[in-house]
A and B are shown apart, each in its own frame.
Chain A
């Protein structure tokens, strides 16, 4: 699977996020239109961005300070939820995000947190775009994010076990590796507390859809494992 965040099919936002984005766009257009007009004019002339206007890198750095609401030690950038940041000449900032799981209840909170954070840094016109494809994968989680998870007591995703690309290649013919019981590789999950790999799965689901429940057979501690996805 490619890790490149290509904008293939940009599906519209979930209802809540769309509503949030709409209201923000609407509100900011009224409040900030006159302030932004000169800046938009300069940018249109091809001159450099006005002094004080943020760069995309700056916006990425701000987003890196927005925590995941359910695992507050890692940021939404570490998690790979933020796919793209676009700054328009008229000062509008479009942040493209992708849901981790279809039903993840944190997505609305994340969308609100992004707009709040960027407003706090002076960006008035913040737009959110929800992108479904390519689908989010734990392969997009940063190494730093994985280290933070481990420090927090959650075993980070070990390896990509649901091989979607292999499945596509088979085009429906023959056995499907992803669902065959015999084809599943033995997954080694290290205990985040003592480091032992002598661990055992308790349940395929933990406290959230993205986690499974494991226990360590050496230090006897139960722990969450952030599933490969």
Chain B
């Protein structure tokens, strides 16, 4: 049961950390429309986070609700992938990070709609249309940025090259992931990676972007709680209120 709790926390942590990163752009987007889109995506991800945390807390049975899981855990207890804690950077950085995540997230959620766990399948079914819309939007923007001006192309290619090494962690399955595959809860890594690579290659071709080598060395560790220096700052801002005034409510 603890294995499934860990798996659910990974799902929730990925969604929460990316949501928090996007929320930091609220009021700072490059255009009003982009600003609204970023925060709307953040809101969808926050809603999904609550569904994953709620289930994780119930399964764990230790009295941790969604707020406790979000605000009362330290960096090493967060199991999000390193990609999601990478800085917002320029808009190409933000959108390449988003596109890499959305493409994986979409194929993962499609797989989870067929999960042997009915509750996980229901949450995936609820999330699927949102996640589909996110991927269509980020794919469109990658094409616009990559196949745009010389400057937008150069910045997007630089973001791809920089973030590529963080794109493989989601497919690097450990004992927790493999146990979920064995139970029919989660889809296998090889299938997801093949689908992800095919979709990324299709969008990059249209965006005139060069795809880095698929056998490149990949960063890992986030899923096991070994994070980059960035996560602490994200949590410091997100958790400040509950750290300063534990248990505070509206």
The answer to whether A and B come from one shared complex is yes
- Contact flags A169-201 to B (C-beta < 8 A → 1, else 0): 000100010111100100000000000000000
B168 at the interface (CB under 8 A from A): no
Task: Report the separation of the CA atoms of residues A168 and B195 in the bound assembly, to the nearest whole angstrom.
Answer: 15
- List chain B residues, Cβ under 8 A from A202: 33
Task: Report the separation of the CA atoms of residues A204 and B167 in the bound assembly, to the nearest whole angstrom.
Answer: 26
In the complex the two chains form, is A181's CB within 8 Å of B123's CB?
Answer: no
Task: Report the separation of the CA atoms of residues A181 and B48 in the bound assembly, to the nearest whole angstrom.
Answer: 25
Task: Report the separation of the CA atoms of residues A206 and B41 in the bound assembly, to the nearest whole angstrom.
Answer: 11
- Which residue, of B48, B65, B123, B135, has the highest number of chain A Cβ atoms within 10 A? B123
Number of A-B contacts (CB under 8 A): 121
Task: Report the separation of the CA atoms of residues A11 and B121 in the bound assembly, to the nearest whole angstrom.
Answer: 11
In the complex the two chains form, is B118's CB within 8 Å of A209's CB?
Answer: no
In the complex the two chains form, is A15's CB within 8 Å of B136's CB?
Answer: no
In the complex the two chains form, is A133's CB within 8 Å of B54's CB?
Answer: no
A29 at the interface (CB under 8 A from B): no
User: If the complex has contacts A179-B106, A203-B36, A209-B40, are A133 and B206 also in contact, measured as CB distance less than 8 A?
Assistant: no
In the complex the two chains form, is A179's CB within 8 Å of B135's CB?
Answer: yes
Give the B-binding residues of A (Cβ under 8 A).
8-9, 11-12, 14-15, 99, 101-105, 132-137, 162, 164, 167-168, 172, 176, 178-181, 184, 202-209, 213, 227, 229
In the complex the two chains form, is B128's CB within 8 Å of A102's CB?
Answer: no
Q: Is the interface of B mostly helix, strand, loop or mixed?
A: helix
In the complex the two chains form, is B122's CB within 8 Å of A172's CB?
Answer: no
Closest to A180 in B: B202
- List chain A residues, Cβ under 8 A from B132: 162, 178-179
- List chain B residues, Cβ under 8 A from A213: 33, 36
Task: Report the separation of the CA atoms of residues A9 and B117 in the bound assembly, to the nearest whole angstrom.
Answer: 11
13 residue pairs bridging A and B, Cβ less than 8 Å apart: A11-B51, A11-B119, A101-B130, A103-B46, A103-B48, A133-B126, A172-B191, A179-B132, A179-B136, A181-B140, A204-B37, A209-B40, A209-B43
Task: Report the separation of the CA atoms of residues A176 and B206 in the bound assembly, to the nearest whole angstrom.
Answer: 17
Contact of B47 among A102, A136, A178, A208 (CB under 8 A): A102
Closest to B45 in A: A103
The 4 A-B pairs of least Cβ separation, nearest first, read A103-B47, A102-B47, A203-B33, A133-B122
- Which residue, of A103, A105, A164, A213, has the highest number of chain B Cβ atoms within 10 A? A103
Task: Report the separation of the CA atoms of residues A207 and B36 in the bound assembly, to the nearest whole angstrom.
Answer: 7
Q: A176-B110, A184-B136, A208-B40 are in contact. List 5 more A-B contacts (CB 8 A).
A: A11-B122, A99-B126, A103-B43, A178-B136, A181-B140
User: If the complex has contacts A132-B122, A179-B139, are A103 and B44 also in contact, measured as CB distance less than 8 A?
Assistant: yes
B125 at the interface (CB under 8 A from A): yes
User: If the complex has contacts A162-B129, A202-B33, are A11 and B123 also in contact, measured as CB distance less than 8 A?
Assistant: yes
- Contact flags B212-249 to A (C-beta < 8 A → 1, else 0): 00000000000000000000000000000000000000
In the complex the two chains form, is A105's CB within 8 Å of B43's CB?
Answer: yes
In the complex the two chains form, is B111's CB within 8 Å of A172's CB?
Answer: yes
CB distance from A90 to the nearest CB of B (A): 27
In the complex the two chains form, is B129's CB within 8 Å of A229's CB?
Answer: yes
- Which residue, of B36, B41, B65, B128, has the highest number of chain A Cβ atoms within 10 A? B36
CB distance from B199 to the nearest CB of A (A): 7
Residues of B127-143 whose CB lies within 8 A of A: 127-130, 132-133, 135-137, 139-140, 143
Task: Report the separation of the CA atoms of residues A52 and B33 in the bound assembly, to the nearest whole angstrom.
Answer: 52
In the complex the two chains form, is A102's CB within 8 Å of B125's CB?
Answer: no
Contact of A133 among B125, B136, B143 (CB under 8 A): B125
B113 at the interface (CB under 8 A from A): yes
In the complex the two chains form, is A132's CB within 8 Å of B125's CB?
Answer: yes
